[in-house]
Structure 1
Amino acid sequence: MATSESTTKRYLPWVVATALFMEQLDSTIVNTGIPSMAASLGVTPLSLKAVVTSYILALAVSIPVSGWLAERYGSRRVFMFAVALFTVSSVLCGLAVNSTMLIAARVPQGIAAAMMMPVGRMVIVRTFSKGELLRAMNFVIIPALLGPLLGPTVGGLIVHWASWREIFFVNVPVGLAALWFASKHMPNYQNDTPRPLDVRGLILFASGAGLLSWLLEVFGEISLSNEMVATLVAVSLGLLAAYGWHAQRVPYPLLRLSLFSTRTFRVGVLGGFVTRLGVGGMPFLLPLLYQLGLGMPVWQSGLLMMPAAMGAMAMKALSGPMLRRFGYRRVLIVNTLLVACAIACYALVDAGTPVVAIVALGLALGLFNSLQFSSMNTMAYADINPEDTAMASTLASTLQQMSMSFGLAFGSLITGYFLQGLSQSDQLAVTASLHHAFIALAVLTVVSSAAFWTLRPEDGESVSKGSVAPT
């Protein structure tokens, strides 16, 4: 390690959290600036959809190879390279003189984000003992919760007071700080005998995941026939199935699916995948409810996203004691139902709902989401051997990224289905369709709780019993 073990453990969660917050904030903040970017570059807003899709595609395709890179070249080197690449790409995005340059600069930005997330989580898991893991993960999970909530607000303020270019330039000081701290406090874990890269598996998985992510990202915004969409979905699923078949027949697969034989990892990742389908749609649906359904201005809509972020922060100090007292099984079963109830309660929000009630509901959703994510993410590594942490982190990060993207798409599809072609200027129609979408997401979240019933009361004790409240 670059410094003493105690100093590394003190600062490492902040290093990883800072980089991940930059990545999570950037991935949502860009959407707010699309109209301003289009006007500045002289193109239509729809043509700039590729600014988002190019990033998502690069991210989805690159995550699986991040674990291999860390094993071969060292975690500190890969993490710092990713932060540097993300920062430089942000500058290039801010300096773009046309849409082509902007889209091209977003590709390396997505590749860099794909390396930061799993490598940072892998280093946390390898550095901290099982008993310390919950405390450390409580810090690292916050960016995933705050980014989607704060992105629209911060983006709106930047575009209003400055220009869309500052959306990308704000990453520079954050990236430089993350680089400096990573050079001092990031361990450089490296495998002396790295496994060979599964090129065939990379082609199969990247093609399938990339195609599916692209379809979900642009669904409803491109003129493809139903037959063509069905064909492309079938092709993407066929490629992913082919990867599953391939992974069982090679000694060093890109993603080792045999890790799912570990019950706690399987439940934490696959059960969490379904849970995130419900939770992942909320950052997309809530601004629509506030702005289109309730007629609020953008600034007020953004402020109403803040209570959830505050609740997520407050839960940091509570999750450890709760998991020690009640255990992962009981907490996940009950809390999943509480998350579903909070989502369903938004179906009661209309123009007559007091703002204080909306604030209280947002605070509750933030509390429950934070506990849910911390529990799922830490339990997944409770029984993973140290030598498997890089692979486990890569596999978990890949599925988590896909589930959040699928959640946004699912929420959008449900809303569009219930809107049934009615005008989006009709506040009552939009509100009613969003209410149906909230109920659908809540039901899906309830269904996901079934996975946590398969846990045993003692599962995760190696993580929860030794954890202490974060300082």
Structure 2
Amino acid sequence: MLSALPTRLSQRLVVPVVCVSVTFIAIVDGAITTVALPSIARQFRLTTAALDGVVVVYPVCLAMTIPASAWLVERFGGKRVLLTALAGFLGSSLLCGAATGLGQLVAYRAVQGVSAGVLFPASTALLFGTFSSAEQIRMSRYMIIPQQIAPAAAPVLGGLMVDHLSWRWVFYVNLPVGLPAVLFGALFLAGGRGRRPGPFDRPGLLLSAGALGSGMFGLCEGPNRGWSSPAVVSSLVLGAVLLAATVAVELRRAHPLLRLRLFSDRLFRDTNLINLVGLVPIMGTLYLTPLFLQQAQGRSALESGLTTFPEAFGVLLTVQVAGALYARVGPRVIVGSGLVGVTAVLLVLATCTADTGLWTVRVYMFLFGAAIGCFFVPTTVASLATIDRKDLPQATMLNTVVRQTGGALAPAAVTTVLVLGTPQAAAASPPLPAYQHAYVALAAIAAATAAFAFTMPDRPARIAAGNSPDTGTADRVPRSGRRRTRVGS
């Protein structure tokens, strides 16, 4: 009886439901953990600084695992890899909540990171492999909802659980959403069997994992330990050396773990570069504004969360418009205009003082969200517009690497500007001009990215989305890039 169930539901429904659940769980977990750190420190009788490993081990292990995700999806199929990674993530979440000491908690967070490193690319590959380019735009307009609601709601949810239940519930909270998703996916998700992607590239994995892990450690620890710290300098230098070695080795292999030749496609290359640099002012603002509200204005954590929350509503509003205009206008104009809007809002935020009212900041954050709503969907969809279906796992994996790196660069850049603008006598609390200078620095990065965005070739993306103006051979989408809807991984 159960064997007949998967055929009763369309994969156009099943895949988005599973992917939304995965996205929501992963984003909430990443945003909610920091709320519990003071409570964890009190129970384990440690300082909050001593829990640094709990925070850092997750992105480091995530980055080290991502390179293997594409090969796993190609070899075993999207369903099997996704559900296995999700089960591992949920199991490690349960173990994190039951941890009796710091060592156990760090170890279980490492397993969470390893699982998440496979979870993100597998989920994205499954989603984009199920829908055509035109359908991807419509789907992305709905997929952005959990991506925006989750990080906005996580701190509030985490605070309530820590105050009224226990810090352990910030990990247990993954189970009520994740377990039904595993069961639903096991019953209804189409079972792609995978294919033979070639021999596993062990040198590529060792080099890329070492490069990404070392680089991520340096970026995460640089603001805390100082950029001149021997551990930070060593990890960044090692990461750079291993990255160069990775590129040299992978370009010479017949079956590389990282298909770096995909970057020879200009649209794929340009959109990933825009993502890498453009995420710095976007994620940097979301990191900086709560600090400004709580440290420069003396607001409470709840006031801070409620003030930054309107950003999510701005995104949800604009992303619908951007999705509707994508095929007619093209990602170049939408992304470039959005980044111009980001630049303008950041310059306005730079004028805020200790006396600026909360509702004023809320309006600014709503406008900021409206601007970045033009960024996420067009860059993601356009990056895969000319990619052959068989290369989707590799392309989504490389996209994930780029986004994770951009996300790590953001707080590192913000903290560095704040430290440089803070006299040593007031090291515990940056002065108001330091925050203003940080907003200006982020605005400069956004402006430079906007200028570059207006140069990217978007005609292939418009064609793939269903708009077919007269095209020259230079911009024509390859036949393999015009993907028909077909379920499977």
Do both share a fold (TM > 0.5)? yes
CA contact (8 A) 2:227 2:233 kept: no
Q: 1:439 to 1:149 in 2, by over 3 A?
A: farther
In structure 1, the gaps of 5 or more residues are 467-471
Instruction: Give the alignment of 1:267-306 within 5 angstroms.
Output: 267-306=270-309
**How many residues were matched structurally?**
465
Q: Which residue of 2 aligns with 1:436?
A: 437
Greater shift, 298-307 or 318-327, is seen at: 318-327
Q: Name the CA distance, whole Å, in 1 between partners of 2:81 and 2:300.
A: 42
CA contact (8 A) 1:80 1:179 kept: yes
Q: Name the CA distance, whole Å, in 1 between partners of 2:84 and 2:280.
A: 31
> Residue 101 of structure 2 aligns to which amino acid in structure 1?
N
Q: Secondary structure at the match of 1:454?
A: coil
Aligned residue among 399, 404, 420 for 2:402: 399
| Deviations 1:358-405 (CA, angstroms, capped at 9, x unpaired) | 111111112222220111001001111111101101111111111101
Q: Which residue of 2 aligns with 1:456?
A: 457
Quote the offset at 1:288 in angstroms. 0.4
Instruction: Give the alignment of 1:20-419 within 5 angstroms.
Output: 20-222=23-225, 226=229, 229-419=232-422
Quote the offset at 1:225 in angstroms. 5.0
CA contact (8 A) 2:283 2:410 kept: yes
Q: Name the CA distance, whole Å, in 2 between partners of 1:286 and 1:125.
A: 33
Quote the offset at 1:181 in angstroms. 2.5
Q: Name the CA distance, whole Å, in 2 between partners of 1:36 and 1:227.
A: 31
> Residue 463 of structure 2 aligns to which amino acid in structure 1?
S
> Residue 443 of structure 2 aligns to which amino acid in structure 1?
A
Q: 1:5 to 1:280 in 2, by over 3 A?
A: farther
> Residue 91 of structure 1 aligns to which amino acid in structure 2?
L
Q: 1:224 to 1:317 in 2, by over 3 A?
A: closer
| Deviations 1:135-179 (CA, angstroms, capped at 9, x unpaired) | 122333444444443333322222222221110111110111221
> Residue 453 of structure 1 aligns to which amino acid in structure 2?
F
Q: Name the CA distance, whole Å, in 2 between partners of 1:228 and 1:116.
A: 30
Q: Name the CA distance, whole Å, in 1 between partners of 2:459 and 2:228.
A: 51
| Deviations 1:4-39 (CA, angstroms, capped at 9, x unpaired) | 597221242232021111111111211111111010
Give the aligned CA root-mean-square deviation in angstroms. 2.2
Q: 1:311 to 1:185 in 2, by over 3 A?
A: farther
Q: 1:185 to 1:89 in 2, by over 3 A?
A: same
Q: 1:148 to 1:134 in 2, by over 3 A?
A: same
Q: Name the CA distance, whole Å, in 1 between partners of 2:62 and 2:5.
A: 29
CA contact (8 A) 1:72 1:194 kept: yes
Q: Secondary structure at the match of 1:221?
A: helix
Q: 1:405 to 1:224 in 2, by over 3 A?
A: closer
Normalising to structure 1: TM-score of the pair?
0.93
In structure 2, the gaps of 5 or more residues are 468-489
Greater shift, 19-28 or 363-372, is seen at: 363-372
Q: 1:409 to 1:425 in 2, by over 3 A?
A: closer
Q: Secondary structure at the match of 1:218?
A: helix
CA contact (8 A) 1:327 1:464 kept: no
Q: Name the CA distance, whole Å, in 1 between partners of 2:73 and 2:5.
A: 17
Q: Which residue of 2 aligns with 1:17?
A: 20
* Seq. identity, %: 28
Quote the offset at 1:224 in angstroms. 8.2
Quote the offset at 1:336 in angstroms. 1.3
Q: Secondary structure at the match of 2:460?
A: coil
Q: Name the CA distance, whole Å, in 1 between partners of 2:117 and 2:142.
A: 19
Q: Name the CA distance, whole Å, in 1 between partners of 2:423 and 2:185.
A: 50
CA contact (8 A) 2:121 2:397 kept: yes
Quote the offset at 1:220 in angstroms. 4.1
Q: Name the CA distance, whole Å, in 2 between partners of 1:73 and 1:185.
A: 17
Q: Name the CA distance, whole Å, in 2 between partners of 1:195 and 1:342.
A: 48
Quote the offset at 1:463 in angstroms. 4.5
Q: Secondary structure at the match of 1:103?
A: helix
CA contact (8 A) 2:322 2:334 kept: no
Q: Name the CA distance, whole Å, in 2 between partners of 1:318 and 1:181.
A: 32
Q: Name the CA distance, whole Å, in 2 between partners of 1:402 and 1:190.
A: 31
CA contact (8 A) 2:86 2:178 kept: yes
CA contact (8 A) 1:130 1:463 kept: yes
Q: Which residue of 2 aligns with 1:469?
A: none
